[in-house]
Structure 1
Amino acid sequence: MGRILYFQWHSFMNAGMERALQKLEIAYDTFFYTFTDWEKDEEFCCRFEKKLISEKYEKVLSVNYSPLISRVCEDHQVPYISWVYDCPIHIREHETLYNSCNTIYFFDRMQAETYQKQGINARHLPLAVDSEVFRTVYMTPVSVEEQRKYNTEIALVGKLYQTEYQYYLQPLTEYQRGYLEGIIAAQLKVYGGYLIPELVTEELLLDLNRSYAKASGDKVQVTRRELEYMLACETTGRERFVILGLLSQHFKTALWSNEKDERLTHVTHNGYADYYKQMPYIFHNAKINLNIALRAIQTGIPLRVLDIMGCGGFVLTSYREEIAEHFVNGEECVIYENLEDMYAKAKFYLEHEEERQRIAISGFEKVRRDFTFDNALRRILG
């Protein structure tokens, strides 16, 4: 295999990817850059092109997909491989996805299949975790004060998904608002499926945009993707709020997030948690780690689930098809099916420490064996 150019930014999975490249003895160079805009950045294009043609690289590799990298690679006919941990993919324009240089791996099987049907070279690959990267962190001693903060019964690391939904409701009629509320209510009741795309009809979209055009003097329109994502985030935000509110009434509950909700008076708000410096301590020390998956993730195993297990933590997660396929519920992780089931399982496992620790150990062994970066890179670079 020839030399690979590995594009890096402040992404999750960076350390695991680079360690795997080294272990597999794959020749590579790195190119680090922080985008001002993932789709418009002339400085990046010039610098990256210069690097790309400075040596005859066989492939370019990145975590998440960059339209700008794809454009440069397409111009020079260099294969570009990306592995996406976002769902949906966070780009505005989709034209570059069709470039012939691309091979794009998605962790969510449904997302991969959707793009395949559109003629995009999309493939499915679950995400990975390097447990050793995290172990070196959580095994490092911390102060008594910090340790006290990490020792909690229930922890959630992540967004509250506070959206602009209420702002977008304002120009709408009572009927239109009721319709959107109905979509959210229906999605909240269903844990094993993603209803929002089916419920956002072309007729609804046209109707909403007539209201937005009238209120803004034809300046504001909403696309299907924007509306679906906003509804998915609003649904997830409401679910997280209800779960945190319920659990914190009964158990010591901590939230690590750059968002705060003053209504969650019984939740300990600890602020943002750094992925490499703090997150491993949280997952390793909390008795129960919550994964309340973004509703736009239809089937895939979120990175959060693998990271928790990779830190030897116990995970209580919402249902997703691929989680149930790859992990034994009640043996390697615990999956909840609705709000009542989530509360009952949280209570049970807080009261049964041996069971909880046994599951955490089994989950740790499973991801250390089956969800490694070594295995993943052999597949995508082979």
Structure 2
Amino acid sequence: MKILFWQWHSFMNRGIETAFQKLNVEYDILFYQQTDWEKNDGIVETLEQKLATQAYDLVFSVNFAPLVAEVCKQHGILYVSWVYDAPLHIRNLEALKYDTNRIFFFDSIQTQEYQKQGIHAFHMPLAADLQFAEGLTERVWEKGADIAMVGQLYQTEYKNYTAILPERVRGYLDGLLNAQMKVSGGYFLGELIDLPLLEQCNEAFQKASDGTFQIGKRELEYMMACEMTGRERYLALALLSKYFKVELYSGDRDERLPQVQQMGYVNYYHGMAEVFAGSRINLNISLKIIPSGVPLRIFDILGAGGFVLTNLQPELYELFTPDKDLVIYEGLEDLYEKAAFYIAHDAERKKIAEQGHRTAAERHTFVQRIREMLRMCTE
């Protein structure tokens, strides 16, 4: 088998390459960073030229690119993509339906929804890059913060967008948002954003913009999910920073969090593992629009040997054993109590971190995932 691995500035590239090598899969790399997933800025011609040089059995990528799918369809070549985003950040959903696609989603509910549309969608959880732990010295381990979080603050324009809506519509959206925030481990927001609600929103948006702006369901749902995530992350950091040393590693800043040490951006391959290993607790608060899947951040932390304290995602119970591999919190009060307990109990915390890393190494490696994907694609 010969694979053309199309790369861009994504996560997981190193883990996938390592898996190809360990599985003795022959592959070439074509690196091309698109400026827009759906605009041909040269990606089509570049891919065409590469495919003309030799015969490939399939093209592989992280996340799904409609233009790459189009080229593969024209050449009759299998296009295999492994998606770590939820939702897909593309507008042209028709390209998902090509027979030459094999699309692997990390979220099982999202997978089922796409399968109902006739898309060649498969469920494949993400994986832990065990190379994160390589080279970490003893001086790194738990020498940093009590609690660290790596990720965005999701500061949105939700208030600005909803300010121009009629009061009853704005109140209804706020009610949906607040109701969803109170539910741990269940996602229902998308089902409640229906056509009549969108029409009421767009009537106001069209009037305010002189007919130049309207919003779709996917855009409204994503904005609301980001707003919820931003609120939850702010509340969690504000609470925890009153009692513990908390560090935030993010390109975002929030002046409302004066007690949080805002450390700035940390590079995925150069620095992030040290944060995970150096912090007693690594906090994961998933993007609310992820219905059930386990986000990449959790696998990243476990790959580096760090301790994970996370919100509830249903698939965690399928992949890990709570309180043995990682710890799940439900609500702010529970978050505080569990953070306080594990900061005060070193032995229990370290035991869970070690077992979580062991489970990742035994059951959730890139080699295992890639082997299974290639098997499913060649059967």
Fold match, TM over 0.5? yes
Aligned pairs for 1:82-93 (under 5 A) are: 82-93=81-92
Structure 2 residue aligned with 1:236: 229
Contact 1:312 1:360 in 2 (8 A): yes
- Asked if 1:359 corresponds to 2:358, the answer is no
Contact 2:129 2:299 in 1 (8 A): no
Structure 2 residue aligned with 1:155: 148
**Separation in structure 1 between the aligned mates of residue 328 and residue 133 of structure 2, nearest angstrom:** 25
Structure 2 residue aligned with 1:278: 271
Structure 2 residue aligned with 1:318: 311
Alignment partner of 2:52: what SS?
Answer: helix
Structure 1 residue aligned with 2:214: 221
**Separation in structure 2 between the aligned mates of residue 56 and residue 223 of structure 1, nearest angstrom:** 41
Structure 2 residue aligned with 1:336: 329
Q: TM-score, normalised by structure 2?
A: 0.97
Give the alignment's Cα RMSD to 1 decimal: 1.4
Structure 2 residue aligned with 1:184: 177
**Separation in structure 1 between the aligned mates of residue 138 and residue 4 of structure 2, nearest angstrom:** 33
Aligned-pair identity in percent equals 48
Structure 1: tracts of 5 or more residues without a match: none
Contact 1:137 1:280 in 2 (8 A): no
Alignment partner of 1:254: what SS?
Answer: strand
Alignment partner of 2:24: what SS?
Answer: coil
Structure 2 residue aligned with 1:139: 137
Contact 2:127 2:299 in 1 (8 A): yes
**Separation in structure 2 between the aligned mates of residue 27 and residue 236 of structure 1, nearest angstrom:** 41
Alignment partner of 1:54: what SS?
Answer: coil
Structure 1 stretches of 4+ moved >4 Å:
none
Alignment partner of 1:284: what SS?
Answer: helix
**Separation in structure 1 between the aligned mates of residue 322 and residue 139 of structure 2, nearest angstrom:** 32
**Separation in structure 2 between the aligned mates of residue 322 and residue 49 of structure 1, nearest angstrom:** 39
Alignment partner of 2:42: what SS?
Answer: helix
Contact 1:306 1:367 in 2 (8 A): yes
- Asked if 1:206 corresponds to 2:199, the answer is yes
**Separation in structure 1 between the aligned mates of residue 217 and residue 236 of structure 2, nearest angstrom:** 29
Structure 2: tracts of 5 or more residues without a match: none
Change (3 A) 1:138 1:227: same
**Separation in structure 2 between the aligned mates of residue 62 and residue 84 of structure 1, nearest angstrom:** 9
**Separation in structure 1 between the aligned mates of residue 185 and residue 133 of structure 2, nearest angstrom:** 33
Contact 1:129 1:307 in 2 (8 A): yes
**Separation in structure 2 between the aligned mates of residue 97 and residue 140 of structure 1, nearest angstrom:** 47
- Asked if 1:44 corresponds to 2:67, the answer is no
Quote how far apart the aligned CAs of 1:141 are.
7.3
Alignment partner of 1:239: what SS?
Answer: helix
The one-character-per-residue Cα deviations of 1:107-138 (angstroms, maximum 9, x if unpaired) are: 0001100100111111000001121x212353
Moved more, 246-255 or 336-345: 336-345
Structure 1 residue aligned with 2:103: 104
The one-character-per-residue Cα deviations of 1:18-58 (angstroms, maximum 9, x if unpaired) are: 01101111011000011111110241110111101211100
**Separation in structure 1 between the aligned mates of residue 9 and residue 137 of structure 2, nearest angstrom:** 24
The one-character-per-residue Cα deviations of 1:154-208 (angstroms, maximum 9, x if unpaired) are: 0000000011112211221111111111111001100111121122121111111
Give the aligned length: 375
Contact 2:277 2:306 in 1 (8 A): yes
Alignment partner of 1:244: what SS?
Answer: helix
The one-character-per-residue Cα deviations of 1:279-335 (angstroms, maximum 9, x if unpaired) are: 100001100000100111111111101110111100000001111222111111000
Moved more, 162-171 or 21-30: 162-171
